[in-house]
Chains A and B, each alone.
Chain A
Amino acid sequence: MENLTTQLQGVPLNHYIWLSAIIFTIGVIGVLTRRNAIVIFMSVELMLNAVNLLLTAFSVHSNDPSGQVFVFFIMALAAAEVAVGLSIIVMVYRNTKSIDINVLNRLKW
């Protein structure tokens, strides 16, 4: 196992940055273009995961375990966020019979 992982390393750090930037942007595009509240939620999860991957890569790069501990906290936070958010979506659906976020634009007033 350790032989394998040492063999697999050597990817430049900025390729990890590019990958995370691209996946984060895909999440942003999903939030901007979709109207289904659940798909928007999934795009937010994509953004969180892009950040997690980058934190792990930097943690390995600077040989500091704090980054990976932080990723662990982000995962706990994401679990809490998903539970509350999905129950809000269920309640919105119960009241409006739709999860189109444009139905919620009356929250503006």
Chain B
Amino acid sequence: MKKFIWYFTLIILALFMLVPMLWTITTALSHDTSTVKIQLLPNNPGLENFINAWNYPSQIEKGITMGRFFFNSLVTCFFITVLSILTDSMAGYILARKKFRYRESIFFLSIATMMIPFYVTSIPMFLIVREFGWINKFYGLIVPFIGSGFGVYMFRQAFLAIPIQIEEAAKLDGLSDLGIYLRVMLPLIRPTIATMIIFKAMWSWNIFYWPLLVTNSMDMYTLPLGLTLFKGLNVTRWGLLTAGLTIAVVPIIALFLIMQRQFISGLTAGAVKE
């Protein structure tokens, strides 16, 4: 009896969680979408909605497809992820291993950045980026985020967990500090790097508020901003709308299904001890 109630609850909740996505996908695959239906399988399945959705932005501005938004998001996501992991791990390494004056205060500063909400600083950030001439530039989308207190904290923790003897042995072999960091330490914290890649990539892939502030020409829109074009669409064009959403969402869900462990540890980073 208890089992039955449990399964019943689980299924009800699973429906609540999955139906929105499934409905979006089946509607996108359907041929006749002038009226909305609750259906499990698409009627008259075809891909023309996807082709229309992909090209829909060009109706607003010539020559722009969803491909452009994907490209912008990929570039932004790639550089934020790679550069911030590099800078954060460098700082984290020094803070974990070297003794120097004011070390604790300097580390505290990176903890303090986590207490400062992004929205509170967004106005001056915007003014600074505008001053630099970075509106509608990749610089504006990327540079403010190529370092994070959270990253410094996570990498420092990871380096602290590595026995000091390993480093001393490397030193005896005549490696420089940079060499130790790059060739000995970084390979040892691979799990943390993997976690941080997912964390940073997901964060920068989905960020919406900042691109909304610093881009206003369509050829610089990232995917989340591009999706808002579909929002104003007449709701009777369900097929087009749902196809646009499917194109944006399904690749990430597919990646998640392939790499579930990494995604979960990346998205719960800082909350759950490894």
The yes or no verdict on A and B being binding partners is no
Binding site for A on B (CB under 8 A): none
Binding site for B on A (CB under 8 A): none
